[in-house]
């Protein structure tokens, strides 16, 4: 893969082509943003939903390459990485998921809904546009869009030759190289694009046990796209990618947080580095391909999207997270493969009545196999054989134990429709409805018990948008979302968790305004919302079996608001600001007073982003450009609902901030940029669990596992376009 990247880089640098216009050129108005949030191209200011979108120019200017980069700039959205690089928790307005649970967010790439969150965190360097839709989006995106949706469009091939190449190097011996080539293969009939990227880092967090970087990672991606247009009305869009990663499994530092601060993870706690002796490695491989066929009938466009995804993850970690080999090895493999087919008909967009109707089918298989090596002697559990336990040495009698291992299959059937009608020239009514039916089965590989269940839901959406002027709109929206239920492993005798976990439902009420001012030099959007969150799925670790399980809490309510501003007061000067506030409260956990009034975990109470970018022309067509970005997170709760005896004591990260900066020079062909992340070297936790999440391991140590940010990072990037 690296050889391929370097060959393409060389080809790019040796070729010649027309100049390109530097981003942030002397256009005095803000860029008009076109999105496909409602499955047709529309100006973002006409969509009656809260949507944050990133254009190609913004992606380039801010060097965004992974979903974490985009979500950090989006109000009321947060991502937590956990366990291994593929495992992530994306929370939008307080609704998220957890380990081994289906995502609460639909992730869509070129119209294809990814079947598993294990693919969400792969390289996104081929992104042309990323849209983050907040609030339930089930009416168009179906089950899993209970919190919102992420809609990504990759770069389209061009009918003129175009290419670029870039390389960066930074702290932790981190480098990234990528190249992109596009052009006609058969003029005006067949065009293609090829993108490749390669990333490697030795890591920026030192493992105290061996003095090496514990957050090392190496991944490569190659993606291609072909568009064939035999006649004007008919087109075929074939896309595919291959991604491979070898890196660390994620790590935790052990700190006595509950015993010292009662739960607050202080900056000093967050300076604690990992100290573990066991393996920590991840291998991930993702194949995906899709074919979009579109035919313009004159009365509308008939579309077919066929997709296949293959996602494989294997990770090992030191489960006890210490230099003591009490649980010296854990191995988990996850394998997901999925086929999907969507058919839809989209009416023309220039009429007062517009509609979309369609059907969807997805067939998914997912297998998870987990096992651990445990030295029971460390826990005082008698086993046959020797049980000597000198510190930092195995007793000589570790036992391999199979854990939570399942093979699951699901078939999803859906039908959906959306209608937009201009009641007057200023007033638009939108009605949408989707019905999802999910037939699931699971074979427990340890007991060989198989179970089946069916989950279904009708998800409505209604919006009324009133255009006050050509530059101002207000709207009211009601929408629902749904996440299908799942299975737990067959419970041990005396266990309190159910075999079948119920579905989640969200019901959202939203009022918003979208405005532009001063000939599109200023944009201001705002929204307030209230959400009823029913039967949230809560992660638990079963004390009897050691297995990962899920239970349903009963009800939570969420309310909040968000504000986004963008301005271009002068040519080459761009300003942006956003603020989000989320207040969530558990209203009923399990029919008892436990956890009532507490906030939902893994979501900041507030998020604030401030950014400024300014360019100064220097001789010829060169531009010196600098950028500063300030981010502030409110308090984040890591309540894991495992300490029933003392439910009000849980871990949390207090408010913190980061400051990022970059400065560079560019002209029509090349750019050179230096950058720094977390300039002031703030220290904070990015994830945490109390010791009660795995009490038999961490309570004897008197420590709580926390995951820490690496601190200040810096580097430089060079780019050539032609």
pLDDT digits (tens, 9 = 90+) for 542-565: 766 667 788 899 999 999 999 999
Residue at token pair 């006050």: 468
Sequence-separated (6 or more) residues with CB below 8 Å from residue 252: 274, 321, 687, 688, 689, 705, 706, 707
pLDDT at 24 over 50: no
Tell me, what's the pLDDT at 722?
Answer: 82
Q: How many CA atoms lie within 13 A of 592 on its CB side?
A: 6
Q: Residue 452 — very low, low, confident or very high, per pLDDT cuts 50/70/90?
A: very high
pLDDT at 2 over 70: no
pLDDT at 387 over 80: no
pLDDT at 540 over 90: no
State how far the Cα of 109 lies from the Cα of 121, in Å rounded to an integer.
Answer: 13
Tell me, what's the pLDDT at 13?
Answer: 31
Tell me, what's the pLDDT at 19?
Answer: 27
Least confident span in 320-329, 350-359, 616-625: 320-329
Q: How many CA atoms lie within 13 A of 509 on its CB side?
A: 5
Helix/strand/coil for 545: coil
pLDDT at 489 over 60: yes
pLDDT digits (tens, 9 = 90+) for 149-189: 999 999 999 999 999 999 999 999 999 999 999 999 998 89
Sequence-separated (6 or more) residues with CB below 8 Å from residue 438: 143, 410, 411, 412, 454, 455, 456, 484
Q: Give the CATH number of the domain where residue 489 resides.
A: 2.40.170.20
Could you tell me the pTM of the whole model? Answer: 0.92
**Mean pLDDT for all residues in the chain:** 91
Mean pLDDT, to the nearest integer, of 640-662? 93
- Percentage of the chain exceeding pLDDT 70: 93
Least Cα distance to 474 among 484, 463, 485 occurs for 463
pLDDT digits (tens, 9 = 90+) for 76-130: 999 998 888 999 999 999 999 887 788 999 999 999 999 999 999 999 999 999 9
Helix/strand/coil for 60: helix
Q: Residue 393 — very low, low, confident or very high, per pLDDT cuts 50/70/90?
A: low
Contact 302, 235 (CB under 8 A): no
Total domains, the chain: 1
Least confident span in 4-13, 444-453, 466-475, 663-672: 4-13
Q: Which domain holds residue 127?
A: 2-721
């Amino acid at each position: 893969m690296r050889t391929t990247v370097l060959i393409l880089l060389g080809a790019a640098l040796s070729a010649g082509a027309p100049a390109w216009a530097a981003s942030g050129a002397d256009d005095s108005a803000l860029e008009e943003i076109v999105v496909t949030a409602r499955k047709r191209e529309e100006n973002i200011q006409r969509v009656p939903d809260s949507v944050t979108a990133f254009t190609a120019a913004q992606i380039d200017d801010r060097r965004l390459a992974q979903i974490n980069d985009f979500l950090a700039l989006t109000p009321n959205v947060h991502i937590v990485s956990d366990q291994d690089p593929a495992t992530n928790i994306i929370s939008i307005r307080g609704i998220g998921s957890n380990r081994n649970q289906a995502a609460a967010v639909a992730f869509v790439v070129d119209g294809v809904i990814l079947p598993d969150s294990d693919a969400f965190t792969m390289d996104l360097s081929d992104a042309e546009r990323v849209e983050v839709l907040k609030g339930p989006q089930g009416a168009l995106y179906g089950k899993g869009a209970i919190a919102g949706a992420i809609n990504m469009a990759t770069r389209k091939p061009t009918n003129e030759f175009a290419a670029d190449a870039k390389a960066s190097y930074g702290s932790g011996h981190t480098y990234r190289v990528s190249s992109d080539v596009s052009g006609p293969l058969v003029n005006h009939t067949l065009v293609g694009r090829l993108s490749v990227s390669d990333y490697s880092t030795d890591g920026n967090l030192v493992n105290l046990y061996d003095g090496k970087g514990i957050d090392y990672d190496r991944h490569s991606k190659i993606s291609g796209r072909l568009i064939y247009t035999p006649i004007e009305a008919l087109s075929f869009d074939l896309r595919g990618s291959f991604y491979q990663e070898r890196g660390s499994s994620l790590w935790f530092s052990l700190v006595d947080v509950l015993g010292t601060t009662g739960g607050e993870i202080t900056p000093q706690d967050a300076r604690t580095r990992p100290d573990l002796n066991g393996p920590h490695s991840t291998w991930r491989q993702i194949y995906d391909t899709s074919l979009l066929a579109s035919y313009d009938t004159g009365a509308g466009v008939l579309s077919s999207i066929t997709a296949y995804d293959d996602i494989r993850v294997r990770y090992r970690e030191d489960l006890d997270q210490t230099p003591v080999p009490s649980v010296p090895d854990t191995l988990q493999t996850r394998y997901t493969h999925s086929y999907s087919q969507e058919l839809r008909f989209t009416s023309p967009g220039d009429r007062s009545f517009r509609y979309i109707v369609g059907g969807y089918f997805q067939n998914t298989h997912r297998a998870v196999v987990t096992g651990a090596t445990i030295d029971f002697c460390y826990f005082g559990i008698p086993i046959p054989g020797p049980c000597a336990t000198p510190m930092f040495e195995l007793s000589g009698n570790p036992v391999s134990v199979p854990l939570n291992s399942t093979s699951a299959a699901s078939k999803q059937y859906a039908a959906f429709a959306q209608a937009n009608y201009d009641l007057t020239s200023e007033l638009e009514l939108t009605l949408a409805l989707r019905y999802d039916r999910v037939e699931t089965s699971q074979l427990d590989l340890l007991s060989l018990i198989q179970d089946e269940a069916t989950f279904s839901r009708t998800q409505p959406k209604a919006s009324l948008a009133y255009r006050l002027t050509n530059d101002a709109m207000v709207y009211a929206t009601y929408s629902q979302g749904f996440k299908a239920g799942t299975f737990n492993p067959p419970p041990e005798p005396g266990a309190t968790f159910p075999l079948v976990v119920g579905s989640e439902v969200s019901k959202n009420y939203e009022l918003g305004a979208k405005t532009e001012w001063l000939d599109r030099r200023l944009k201001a959007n705002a929204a307030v919302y209230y959400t009823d969150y029913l039967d949230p799925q809560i992660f638990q670790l079963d004390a009897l079996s050691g297995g990962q399980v899920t239970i349903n809490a009963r009800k939570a309510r969420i309310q909040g608001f968000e504000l986004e501003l963008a301005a271009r007061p002068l040519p080459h000067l761009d300003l942006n600001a956003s603020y989000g506030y989320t207040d969530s409260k558990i209203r009923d956990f399990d029919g008892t007073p436990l956890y009532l009034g507490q906030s939902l975990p893994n979501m900041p109470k507030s998020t604030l982003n401030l950014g400024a970018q300014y360019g100064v022309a220097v001789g010829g067509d060169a531009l010196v450009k600098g950028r500063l970005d300030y981010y502030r997170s409110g308090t984040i709760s890591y309540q894991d609902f495992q300490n029933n005896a003392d439910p009000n004591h849980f871990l949390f990260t207090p408010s913190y901030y980061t400051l990022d900066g970059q400065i560079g020079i560019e002209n029509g062909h090349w750019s050179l940029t230096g950058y720094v992340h977390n300039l002031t070297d703030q220290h904070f936790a990015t994830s945490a669990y109390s010791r009660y999440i795995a009490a038999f391991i961490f309570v004897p140590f008197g420590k709580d596992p926390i995951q820490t940010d690496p601190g200040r990072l810096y580097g430089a990037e060079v780019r050539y376009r032609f």
